[in-house]
Chains A and B, each alone.
Chain A
Amino acid sequence: MLNSLDLPKVPMSEGVEKAVDWIKETFAWIFEPIKENVPDFLDWFASLLTSVPPLIMILVIAVLAFFLTGKKIGLTVFTVIGLLFIQNQGLWEPLCYTFTLVLFASLISVIVGVPVGILMSKSNWAQNIITPILDFMQTMPAFVYLIPAVAFFSIGMVPGIFASFIFATPPVVRFTNLGIRQVSTELVEAADAFGTTGIQKLLKVELPMAKATIMAGINQTVMLSLSMVVIASMIGAKGLGRDVLSALQNADVGPGFVAGTAIVVLAILIDRFTQLVNKNA
């Protein structure tokens, strides 16, 4: 028959399982303390946000929007109406949890992603190895990351952050690489000609020149990690995703739509604010 080669099935899935087990055991000394402490920290942070009266929080964010936009009224109005709506729908607490999740997931993505991007920009060799890995990370359905995430970190926000980290890091890596490689040869030559060390060149010329591009990557990373929120709720992460998920499970169109809208509002706010920070920085 030409339909298949008559070979035994390659034991790939068994191999992956073994590998995950091995990682879990070998790096238990890393995973265990994270499992012990980080959930408490995240809860503490989220409850800190919740403890501020919503109206005061909304006011502060609106004032921030007003001044960051250079006293334009559009984003300020949107902030007030959007957040008041979320509060009105009783979704303030899930919002705080979702924000916490997105904040720390993106923070980790950036802290890891920017240096990796720098490495890639400096070495073609590194670029050739890392690029396919990034492609893989981004195209693999995000759900798949939940399985090892649970194996390593049990359930809750931490595996959510882990899964989001894998899914959302590629853009910041790619854009950092791109931004640095795009710095014009003349500027790089100028830096070299004045006798910069590698670090000086990076800090005083390349990163400042690449800043806008890197910020665009960060913006994408943040948006991707927000998109992981619903998925992360499947493994018990608190937040707006959980409301969407339970609406889905109960086929409740109304609550599902409301929670979904809240995520959209948050997405728009995060997007505009990261762009503003980029412009003003």
Chain B
Amino acid sequence: MPVIKVENLSKIFGKKVKEAQSLLDQGYLKEDILEKTGCTVGVNRASFEVEEGEVFVIMGLSGSGKSTLVRLLNRLIEPTEGNVEIDGENLATMDKNSLRSVRREKMSMVFQKFALFPFRSVLENAEFGLEIQGINKEERSEKASEALDLVGLGSFSEQLPSQLSGGMQQRVGLARALANDPEVLLMDEAFSALDPLIRKDMQDELLDLQEKMQKTIIFITHDLDEALRIGDRIALMKDGSIVQIGSPEEILINPANDYVEKFVEDVDRSKVLTAEKIMKRPETVDIDKHGPRVALERIREQGLSSIFVTDRSRNLQGYVNADDVSAARKEGKSDLRDILQTDVPKVEKDTSIQEIFDLIHDSPVPVAVVEEGKLRGIIVRGAVIAALANGNGVTEDVE
């Protein structure tokens, strides 16, 4: 059974709601309806289901109705029509008290601008939801501290939010939402206010947390990159309507209509594709075992101009040039260390093609893809160019 089931959910802002609805039925567009009735179509008959433990991303341009939709899910905005079921209960029709219990026990929200209470300490912020439920001081500070530890802010309990950086403030926002131990997390552009690097950290952290917690997460974003990184499934919105729902691959490969296609095209492919997608299995020699003889053999076999050198546990040491190797061989040297070059361009698995392109441009050797110092793959110039050209990863037999 889905945790959340949304059926025909609509929100029309304005006075002449009935009129706007009937125009909508007749197939009029959002702009026409605004012109004719002064009403804004916030969300237009959205239907979808979210399974337990799923990260469901709602994506769309600004003004497409994402914030309205997520606020209909916990009824911060009253729906004009339609149903929102959580665990089989219809939120849209329930009375104030039941709604309050659902908000207290089942769903928590994380806000774009953090929405922390500035006069409360970090711990008191994290305690807020529990305090509202009337849970005693001891228990709530224990649970809130656990939540803060989870997001790595355990030692900041006594600080005020204003003393923390943006990324840390949003961790407090996340801890405040998690302290309640809700089934569902609603995150409205939770990372959009953060600068790109911090944002990526937060995405990673959310994914790590999600691995542990297995919450059901509704994540709003206007950024396809973010959607692709985080989402198990993605719903794309336009003018209040959901135009496609699918896995990240489906959305990328099979855009449902022109709008989705445009959206996908708009995203610079070079940002979506990462090192991991275009790297190849590396040809290497082991610095502890092999000397110039083996190196030269492999270089010749593969027709290379250089070869990467690792140690026994695949930690990248550098590379050796074909010319140096054959010279060393002639002089009868036995150790590759004498001719080892260490200025290797290195990237991580999730480095974007854009960055790799800049690196590889003036590098004599392929770029090494490393993970905690270990060589995982190499990227040759041709692969980067091919990927940029047609947008497909040339994923070969990578170990």
Contacts and interface: CB of A to CB of B under 8 A. Distances in A.
Interface of A: 184, 186-187, 189-190, 192-197, 200, 204-205, 208-209
Contacts, number: 55
B128 to A, nearest CB: 6
Given A190-B109, A190-B111, A208-B119, A196 B76 contact: no
Given A204-B131, A208-B119, A193 B109 contact: yes
A204 B132 CA distance: 9
Contact of A187 (B71, B101, B115, B131): B115
Contacts of B113: 186
B13 interface: no
Interface of B: 71, 74, 76, 100-105, 107-109, 111-113, 115, 117-119, 128-129, 131-133, 180, 186
Given A186-B113, A187-B115, A190-B115, A197 B108 contact: no
The 3 closest A-B pairs by CB, nearest first: A195-B104, A195-B103, A186-B115
B187 to A, nearest CB: 12
Given A194-B128, A195-B103, A197-B100, A186 B111 contact: yes
Interface on chain B toward A: helix, strand, loop, or mixed SS? mixed
A194 B129 contact: yes
A205 B108 CA distance: 17
A204 B129 CA distance: 11
A215 to B, nearest CB: 13
| Residue among A192, A197, A208, A209 with max Cβ neighbours from chain B (10 Å) | A192
A195 B111 contact: no
Contacts of B107: 193
| Residue among A187, A189, A193, A204 with max Cβ neighbours from chain B (10 Å) | A193
Contacts of A184: 115
A195 B119 contact: no
Nearest to A208: B119
A204 B118 CA distance: 12
Given A187-B117, A205-B117, A194 B132 contact: yes
Nearest to A211: B119
A195 B76 contact: no
B115 A194 contact: no
A56 B307 CA distance: 91
B133 A195 contact: yes
Given A189-B76, A190-B109, A204-B131, A195 B101 contact: yes
A132 B102 CA distance: 41
A186 B189 CA distance: 13
